[in-house]
Structure formats: structure tokens, C-alpha cells
Structure 1
Amino acid sequence: MASKEPDGSKARETREAKESIRQLLSKLEIDQVIEVKDWLAKYVESTPSSEITFNYENEQKKKMMDRGARKLDRIAAYLRDKAVDVPSKAPSKLRWPTEGFDSDCTELNTCEVDSFLYEDDDVEELVERDELSRTYCPVCSSRDTVPLNFISHSLSRLQVKFLFDLLMPPTCQHVLDIGSRLGAIVYGASIFTNGNVSTIGVEMDSDYAALALRTIRQFGLKNIEILRDDIRHLAHVFKDNQFIVMNNVFSFFLSKTEQEECWEFLHTHMRPGTVLAHHPPIEKITEHLDLSFDIEDWLEFVNTTTECLEYGANDSEIYEEMASICKYIVRDSRAHGDSVPE
């Protein structure tokens, strides 16, 4: 059987490597060339291939991530063109928290701007066009004097890239996005893994779920399932080797009792070893809830300072944006003598 011909890109890279080596050898005497030849043969034979091609693999991954980021930009533009979640235009469907971490947010003092759709430059443009204000008057409700709180119920495109570049372990085979909303996480999961992990998005809002399905078809994204349901009805979606993403999906949408029920459900059904990425810290958004367990006993916090520095070492705002995503690993409750559901 004839050997498979290398693709054009690999053939070009091979020719360029040979030419570079030829030029290097041309600067040496023949005994030095023979010494280099013997060294190279031993080096290739004794060194793991992953070490030899380390820089190449990193460069290929960077190119893939950059292509993925551009595709996410196109998806965001597609959704903006459909006038999805235009800031300050649609009446709020939120249940404004009266207790806990987000209780300082009200319909009067808070503006919801979806970070997946609108980056900082987009927001500035909306402000300049007088389509959005950063301030309001607490007396007459006009937006001219006091800074507004800005909130988002989606992660930004850079945060989505960060999740699948540095936070999701390469061994994870399943992604679960709880509170999928516009689908930012499921799009990123498919794009940044080349569709090689099975991905489920759970979303209670039928309009958002339908929109995500249309977007998945429009962009040919693979290995994604969207479930329009309440996570409390879906015990079967929790699996081993799973990466779960949540962006404060309960605080602005459920009563205190319902939030407690959801966290109790997750505590029961998340498998040991599951990696959970949550924005913001779970400890803060649950501190006002009456739970039957301690978060610290259930979840092991993972320090991601190194990963955040890789993205934002020279930009404190980017660093803080990445650091706002907390990474946890579900502890094995059997170590504490508790039973684990089948």
C-alpha cells in the first residue's frame, strides 16, 4: 500500500526545516558535521517525541485557539445582528436578589450587558451613540449622575477561550454547561476541542434554547446537545471525566429556596473528580443559603494564578477577568463516609 502523502502545509514545513539545517551545516567543517549527525541520531532516538516537538505543538495549539477565537467573534456578530439581548432595550426578566452577594443590584441601579456579545469597546460605542448610559439618577430614575452596576449572565469571549485553553483538563471527555443562555460555553467547547468532547447545554428559557440550536446549525458545530429543562430534572447528564461550567446561574433567576434545592441537587449528583469552573466564587454566592453541607467539604479550590498570569500578565484588567472564574474539583465524599448515588 502506498504511503499517505503529507499535506501541503507539512510538506512545506519539512522543506523549510531541511533548508535551515543545510544552511547551518554549511558553516561547519566536515568533522563537525559528522559530530552533529551522530548527536542528532542519538537525540532523536533517546528523547520523547513530545519534548522534541514541544514548541511546534504549542504553536499549532496557539493557531487553533486563535482560529477558534475568530469563529467565536463571528458567532457573536451573528447574534448581535439578530438583536439578541440588546442592552437596556428589553424589559428585565430577572428576579432581583434581596439577600446575599448580589443583593445590591436592583432594576433601577443595574444594567445587564451580555459580555459574550458586547466587549468593552462595543459598550463604549453604545454609550457614545446614546444607546446606553453608564449612570442614573437615584431620585428621578434618569441615568445621568450615579454610576450604574453592570452585570452579565454570559462569560466574555476571552473567558470562554481561557476555559478551554487552560482550565479544562485534557482528560475531560464531557462538558456540561448549566444555564447555557445564548450558548457561549457550548460553542467554545465544540470549537476549541474540534468537537472531540461531548457537550450538553442546559437552558430553561425556550427562546434561548431555540436560538442556540439555530446557531449550532448555522456554524456547523459538532457534538452538542441542548436540553430545555431544569437541571434538577436531569440527573443523567452528570458523568465521570466531566468539566462543568456555571456563570452564577441561580442568583438572579430563582428564589432562595429554589437556589438551595439546586445546590443540594448538584452536591448529590456531581461525580467525584469533576472539574467545575464557576463565576463568581461559589463560597460568596451561597453564604446566605441554608445548605446541608459545607462548600469547602464538597469542593477543593484550585489556585489558577499561573494560568491567569499567562493571559493577563501585562494587563491587570484581563488578569482580574480571568481570575474571577474559580476552578474547583469535586471531592470524593466516600472519604468522609458518605454514600455516592449510582
Structure 2
Amino acid sequence: MSPNKDGWKLNETREAKAAITEILSKLEMDQVFEIKDWLNKYVEETPSNQITSNYEKEKKKKMFDKGANKLDRIAAYLRDKAVDVPSKAPSKLKYPTEGFDSDCTEINTCEIDSFLYDDEDIEDMVQRDILSRTYCPTCNSRDTVALNFISHSLSRLQVKFLFDKLMPSTCQHVLDIGSRLGAVVYGASIFTNGNVSTVGVEMDADYAALALRTIRQFGIKNVEILRDDIRHLPHVFKDEQFIVMNNVFSFFLSKTEQEECWEYLHTHMRPGTVLAHHPPIEKITEHLDLSFSVEDWLEFVNTAEECLEYGGNDQEIYEEMESICKYIVRDSKSADASVVE
């Protein structure tokens, strides 16, 4: 333990003793002896983690608040490099022509990276005429309609939510498929103090190189960025793994390629793997011809309680967290056995 941490604990202990002394000074001696007997019994009979539960909660909160501040600094660093600046020009995405998100086109859609730009940033750009929320479907007409806003990164709050509420403490490995700017990779290291091994897979060479520079700049620990196609990397799938995907196929691959990717994941994800996906997998795969049923492969986990804890009375935040779906990969052998029975 470091000298600073020793001093901090000593100071906490001194403050606790002072507080107890203050309480006892207000009691009569028979009450003091009653408190003493009760305290001895309480410490002997109560599990230690229950005694210090508030301390552990506060400790975790401080760690996550500190981590959130670091994510903010990383986002600012990337914005300063003019990475993924929202533009009025049509993007080069492969817009879906069928299924979920098929209503998005080059004309009616604006891509904004949620990791870099939050709602306040977007409103500021609108006010400064850098960005518009609407477009005119017919030239010189006042008949404007709202643009579709899409992001291929999770927001900083969503990244925090992943590792605060969705990743089980038993997970030892994190895999981010379609790592892009590295938002999830940074969060995995920051919010676990680098105690889980993390791999980010990204096909775009520029994004992968930028993520590596950012990792070095901010001292992100125990992470690896692979510039490759996930279909070439069977070795990255592990037991006790948490996998994160943010609609990584729909806007970048043909229908046939998407089917190949999902078939590959179905083959290689191990039973018990926890998968966080945005948006619902059932919706983005319903138009694909797959050899398996998503419901038979993945068990959906209801996270309404966790979303409510984050959202509270803010419906927008609640829905933002709810849009990340949690699944557990079923054991196909157990499923097959139950069908036979």
C-alpha cells in the first residue's frame, strides 16, 4: 500500500474515532456499556462486506466519477484533432436498403459520434449554424422535415453504464467488435482499473491507429487494438467474456456479409458470454437469412431496474440506457438436450 493511501486511511480512522467519541459524550455510562456490548456482537456476527457496504459503494462511485472525467478528457482530445466532425456532406456509409434503419439515406441522415458530441455540443453547433436538425426534401421549399441522427459510437454515459451495471464482476475479458475511436476500450480499462484484458477489433486503419495513439497518450492499461475483420480472429473469443457491439455491420457490410458475420459469431461466442448490443439484435437481424434463431441462441436479460437507476426521472437518459440490450449466450448442448426430453 502506498504512503499516501496509508495516510488517507489513518485520517479516516481518526475522524471515525472522533465521531464515535462525540456520540458517546452525549450518553450516560450505562448507555455507553450497552453500545459497547452491541458493537462487539455486531462486528462478530455481521459479514464484513455488510458492515462496510456504504464504504464500498462510495469507493466505487468515486472511481466511476473519476473515470467519467477521464473519458471526457479523451473525448476533448479527439475533438481537438478534428476527428469525425459532423458534416452536412453525405457520408460514405452503406445505408441499409431493407430491415431495421432502412429509412436512413444519405439525404435524410446526419452521422454524429455520440462519444465525442453530447446533446449540449449538438445544440451549440445548431445555434452556430454548423449543423442543422432539419432538411428540405424539395429545393427552395419551406416544407422542412427532421433529419435522422445516427451514431456509430456509444455515448460516454452509455460506456459508463456498460461497466457499472451490465458487465458481471466475474468477467475477465472484454471484446469490443467494431471498436471505431476506442470508446468502449477506454471505458473497459478505466472503469475496471485495468483488471480485465480488453481487445478492440477495428477494420479501419485510421481509427485503429488513432486509438493506439490515444491509449499511449492517456496511459490506458491492459488493452489491445487489432486492425482486422472479426471473421479472421477466432482466438479473441474467451470464457468469462463480456462482448460489446454497437450495430457494427448494418451500415458497413452487404446483406450477405452481415449474414456471414452473424453466423461466425454464432459459432464462436462461448456459452455464458455476456453480450451488450445496441440496438436490439432481433430487430437488426430479422431481414437476414440465418441458420439459427436469435432467441434460441441468446437469452435476453431485462435491465429495466438498472436503466431506472441511471435515468431516474429523466426519460431520455432512461431510453438511452434501455437501447443497449443485454444477452447471455445459451449453452446449445443444454438447449438441445431439453428439446429431446
SS at match of 1:131: coil
Aligned position for 1:227: 226
The alpha carbon displacement at 1:42 in A equals: 1.2
| Cα distance in 2 between the residues matched to 1:142 and 1:325 | 38
SS at match of 1:246: strand
Aligned position for 1:306: 305
Is residue 2:124 matched to residue 1:125? yes
| Cα distance in 2 between the residues matched to 1:6 and 1:85 | 41
Aligned position for 1:318: 317
CA-to-aligned-CA distance 1:113-148 (integer Å, 9 cap, x gap)? 000000000000001111001111112399981110
TM-score by length of 1: 0.95
Paired residues, number = 335
CA-to-aligned-CA distance 1:66-106 (integer Å, 9 cap, x gap)? 00000000000000000000001665221010010010000
Is residue 2:164 matched to residue 1:159? no
SS at match of 1:300: strand
8 Å contact 2:90–2:106 — kept in the other structure?
no
| Cα distance in 2 between the residues matched to 1:191 and 1:59 | 17
The alpha carbon displacement at 1:6 in A equals: 5.7
Is residue 2:287 matched to residue 1:288? yes
The alpha carbon displacement at 1:278 in A equals: 0.3
8 Å contact 1:155–1:247 — kept in the other structure?
yes
| Cα distance in 2 between the residues matched to 1:146 and 1:124 | 17
Aligned position for 2:168: 169
The alpha carbon displacement at 1:47 in A equals: 0.7
User: Structure 1 residues 144 and 163, CA, compared in 2 at 3 Å: closer, same or farther?
Assistant: farther
User: Structure 1 residues 142 and 123, CA, compared in 2 at 3 Å: closer, same or farther?
Assistant: farther
Aligned position for 1:59: 58
Note the residue ranges of structure 2 that are not aligned, 5 or more in a row.
Answer: none
SS at match of 1:16: helix
User: Structure 1 residues 50 and 235, CA, compared in 2 at 3 Å: closer, same or farther?
Assistant: same
| Cα distance in 2 between the residues matched to 1:220 and 1:6 | 21
8 Å contact 2:72–2:156 — kept in the other structure?
yes
| Cα distance in 1 between the residues matched to 2:149 and 2:213 | 28
SS at match of 1:309: helix
SS at match of 2:328: strand
CA-to-aligned-CA distance 1:166-217 (integer Å, 9 cap, x gap)? 1000000000000000000000000000000000000000000000000000
User: Structure 1 residues 100 and 5, CA, compared in 2 at 3 Å: closer, same or farther?
Assistant: closer
| Cα distance in 2 between the residues matched to 1:213 and 1:300 | 34
TM-score by length of 2: 0.96
The alpha carbon displacement at 1:12 in A equals: 1.4
Is residue 2:218 matched to residue 1:244? no
8 Å contact 1:135–1:143 — kept in the other structure?
no
Aligned position for 1:48: 47
| Cα distance in 2 between the residues matched to 1:245 and 1:292 | 23
| Cα distance in 2 between the residues matched to 1:201 and 1:90 | 29
Q: Percent identity?
A: 82
SS at match of 2:277: strand
Aligned position for 2:72: 73
Which has the larger displacement, 39-48 or 135-144?
135-144
Is residue 2:328 matched to residue 1:329? yes
Q: Which amino acid aligns with 1:146?
A: V
Note the residue ranges of structure 1 that are not aligned, 5 or more in a row.
Answer: none
| Cα distance in 2 between the residues matched to 1:68 and 1:7 | 22
CA RMSD of superposed structures (Å): 1.5
Q: Which amino acid aligns with 1:54?
A: S
Aligned position for 2:178: 179
User: Structure 1 residues 307 and 33, CA, compared in 2 at 3 Å: closer, same or farther?
Assistant: same
| Cα distance in 2 between the residues matched to 1:5 and 1:107 | 55
